[in-house]
A = this chain, B = another copy of it.
Amino acid sequence: MRTVFHEKLDELTGQLAKLCGQAGLSMKSATQALLDADLAAAEQVISDHDQMGALRATAEQAAFALLALQQPVAGDLRVVFSAIQIIGDVERMDALAVHVAKIARLRYPDHVVYGEVSDCFADMGRLAVELGESARQVLLTPDPAAAARLREEDNAMDDLYRRLFGLLMSPTWQHGVPAAVDTALLGRFYERFADHAVEVGRRVIFVATGTLPAEEDISTY
């Protein structure tokens, strides 16, 4: 029989999963705002952020209450402990989508990115949505092997990030300094988004196995 405590634990996990999926969808809209100079999409991401903040606050209070009232141990404690850390990661994932949307809004009605760079961000956007969805799924079905695969998706994001910097740092870059600055920061936002999704995967592995996988090395950028 499921206890009320375990129902509350599942509810907390469900909130985290929802936040991950939503962060992916925010990055999808932010990417659309960026590629299509779509102001409405940008505004949507920015206004959704408050709603996500309310859900994060609810999840944080739920985690605190579970610790205070139920004093979980062992595997149950790992769920709550990891939830506190995952809330931090989904906060950043959502904030990074907002950063992308705000650059699109700042440059509107101009496009921020062009040609090959634009293709690169389209791929990064698709990957970000996948990462948000993968993080959502591994929270709901905590399979350590699936959680570890988030790192492979992150490797694909890192490849795109390097491709982007190859374009940016090339002597053939034609779009001037302001566009280069926007592009570099945007690239960083997608790359960090992926890193946070990997962190969610690491925490899921900790919940499932009791062992936290090693952190990834810090890249040069």
User: Which residues of A are interface residues toward B (Cβ below 8 A)?
Assistant: 49, 53, 63-64, 67-68, 71, 73-74, 77, 81, 84-85, 88, 95, 98-99, 102-103, 106, 165, 168-169, 173, 176-178, 180-181, 184-185, 188, 215, 218-221
Residues of B within 8 A of A168 (CB): 177-178, 181
Which A-B residue pairs are the 3 nearest by beta carbons? Answer: A71-B71, A181-B184, A102-B220
User: Is A218 in contact with B49, judged by CB distance below 8 angstroms?
Assistant: yes
Is there an interface contact between A220 and B103, defined as CB atoms closer than 8 Å?
Answer: yes
Tell me the smallest distance from the CB of A169 to a CB of chain B, in Å: 5
User: Which B residue's beta carbon lies closest to that of A53?
Assistant: B215
B67 touches A185 (CB 8 A): no
Once the chains are docked, how many angstroms separate the CA of A186 from the CA of B68?
Answer: 41
Tell me how many chains of this kind the complex includes.
2
Would you mind naming 12 contact pairs between A and B with Cβ atoms under 8 Å apart?
A: A53-B215, A67-B67, A68-B74, A99-B218, A99-B221, A102-B218, A102-B221, A103-B220, A173-B177, A176-B177, A180-B180, A181-B181
Closest beta carbon of chain B to A45's beta carbon, Å: 11
Name the residue in A98, A169, A218 with the highest tally of chain B Cβ atoms < 10 Å from its Cβ: A218
A53 to B214: give the CA distance in the assembly, Å.
10
Quote the shortest CB–CB distance from A92 to chain B (angstroms): 9
- Give complex CA distance A165, B176 in Å: 15
Please, which residues of chain B bring their CB within 8 A of the CB of A173? 177
Minimum distance in angstroms from A219 CB to a CB of chain B: 8
Task: State whether B188 touches A177 (Cβ < 8 A).
Answer: no
Q: Are B77 and A68 in contact (CB under 8 A)?
A: yes
New A-B contacts (19) at CB < 8 Å, excluding given A53-B215, A84-B84: A49-B218, A71-B71, A81-B84, A88-B88, A95-B218, A99-B220, A102-B218, A102-B219, A103-B220, A165-B181, A168-B178, A169-B177, A176-B177, A177-B177, A180-B180, A180-B181, A184-B185, A185-B185, A185-B188
